[in-house]
Amino acid sequence: MEGKSVAARIHDAIHRLTPAEKRAARGLLGAYPTLGLAPVAEFGQQAGASSATVLRFVSQLGYKSYPDFQRALRDELEERAKSPLQRGQSASASASDDNFLDRFVSQAAGNLRGTAGLIPPSEFEAVCQRIAEAKGQCYLGGGRFTDFLAGYMEAHLRLIRPGMRRFDGRPATRADQMIDVRPGDTAILFDVRRYDPSLLEAAGELAARRAQIILITDEWMSPVSRYAKLVLPCRTALDRTWDANGSLFTLVEAIIARVTELAWPIASKRIGSIEPGGVP
């Protein structure tokens, strides 16, 4: 009884319902689930029944209160949003059936699109400008796996601006590097679940030293966000055991590209001085 969808409960209960209650049921099924998320009075009006009737209807469904019923609807909605395959079953189902790579890739593409929706353009822009300004030092660090993203990012940004530094190795050595951190410095941290406690600690220390923290994380939001000035959350969910960090990687590349654009006057000189052939 507990884990049943509201729609299913309606179907179970419909024969027990009185005429006015049935109107409520029909109304809800017709505008599902939005009508149920409205206040009782509106629900009633839309469905052609009184508030009292709607309430009786909801209680017939087995919910002990109207808010309780609404919570169930919200949970359902959330559930549906999370599952990656709610639309286009025919198209994607046939394509994905046999081919692992195709299926994986289309999920990754979905995460990418989701990420673009999750990050406000102005937030992205603010991050890039902060990096391109090249004021003070810019530190980078990540967790067990994400550390490689930090490394990749550093390898690129190093070419573009001075003052890039990476927290290398284990928490122990981190403390040494902290002493150099000064107010106004920037720190780019990567943290996805399961979130790294030592990184949280490091973030606290950085915040205490007035460094501005840029956090790149997943949709469940690392606790580091507490200390971060700017947060870029990425969609990483996958229908398998582990999450996928591809969206973080692409975000990193987007940042690199944008920062390069912004800092071009300086960057072009730096790059030119390294690669005598010039820039392709």
Residue 58 engages DNA in binding (rule: CB under 7 A): yes
Stretch near DNA under the rule CB under 7 A, chosen from 66-74, 116-124, 138-146, 232-240: 66-74
Residue 189 engages DNA in binding (rule: CB under 7 A): no
Say which entry of DNA, a copy of itself, none residue 156 contacts (CB below 5 to 8 A, set by partner kind). a copy of itself
Contact at 8 Å (CB) between 251 and 232? Answer: yes
β-strands 186-191, 212-218: how paired?
A: parallel
Question: Tokens 């319902």 map to which residue?
Answer: 17
Of residues 6, 24, 25, 138, which one binds a copy of itself by CB under 8 A?
A: 25
Task: Spell 67-102 as b/e; 16+ CB within 10 A means b.
Answer: eebbebbeebeeeeeeeeeeeeeeebeeebeeeeee
**DSSP 8-state secondary structure symbol assigned to residue 167:** -
Q: How far is CA 45 from CA 52, 63, 85, in A?
A: 11, 21, 34
Least distance (Å) between residue 179 CB and a copy of itself: 27
Stretch near DNA under the rule CB under 7 A, chosen from 12-20, 108-116, 127-135, 242-250: 12-20
Contact at 8 Å (CB) between 47 and 35? Answer: yes
Say which entry of a copy of itself, DNA, none residue 90 contacts (CB below 5 to 8 A, set by partner kind). none
Within a 10 A sphere around the Cβ of 149, how many other Cβ atoms?
21
Of residues 10, 25, 35, 49, which one binds DNA by CB under 7 A?
A: 49
Residues 242-261 binding DNA (CB under 7 A) are none
Q: How far is CA 183 from CA 124, 135, 140, 161, 169, in A?
A: 22, 11, 16, 19, 23
Residue 150 engages DNA in binding (rule: CB under 7 A): no
Least distance (Å) between residue 50 CB and DNA: 3
Stretch near DNA under the rule CB under 7 A, chosen from 13-21, 102-110, 241-249, 260-268: 13-21
Residue 122 engages a copy of itself in binding (rule: CB under 8 A): yes
Which residue, 200 or 221, is less far from a copy of itself as judged by CB?
221
Residue 265, C-beta contacts closer than 8 angstroms, at least 6 positions apart: none
Residues engaged in binding DNA (CB under 7 A): 18-21, 39-41, 48-53, 55-56, 58, 65-68
